Structure 1
Amino acid sequence: MVLNIGKVSPIADYMIIITGDVPTHTKAICDEITQNLKKEGEIPAHVEGYNEGRWIAIDYGDVMVNIFIPEVREYYNLEWLWSDAPKVDIKTGS
């Protein structure tokens, strides 16, 4: 899920919320994102939670990426917390 939080908060423009099945999966997703963006010259300002892998937050400044295992995603429910933020259709970008 991609939320346009820039419409409701100054912390970033977009928040991406992803679910991995288990910590190994969330770490693999994080690795894939950071390695591919590094090839494009984008380096995260900070990565938090990688060692545990239950909730990994990647800070790219204007874009925040959150990768959760299912029970942690359900517990924190960022979709509800940011419910005022419009969802972005990732197929069309709007």
Structure 2
Amino acid sequence: MRKGIGAALFVMVVMAAAMSAGAECDPVQLFPCLGAMSSGQDPSAECCTKLKEQQPCFCQYMSNPEFKPYIDSPNARKVAAVCGISTPTC
């Protein structure tokens, strides 16, 4: 089941990237976090860096019904906490 979630997240990230090409908020930048968000593993340093760079975009991602379940998931909250990022209040 975890592979299915990861694959679905990857497809959604790629689709969003295609829609937001050239925009500052680029969910493809979160790809280094895919493993941690889908499995609950600790995030890599690269993941934390990318999360911090994309932090201003979290509310935009959460307002997208296709992304919200992933961005607001328990694993994503765990990853954010390990990286020292608070969950946004949107």
- Please indicate the TM-score interval, normalised by the length of the shorter structure: 0.3 to 0.5
Higher strand share: 1
Report the TM-score when normalising by structure 1.
Answer: 0.37
Higher helix share: 2
Report the TM-score when normalising by structure 2.
Answer: 0.38
Q: Which has the larger radius of gyration?
A: 1
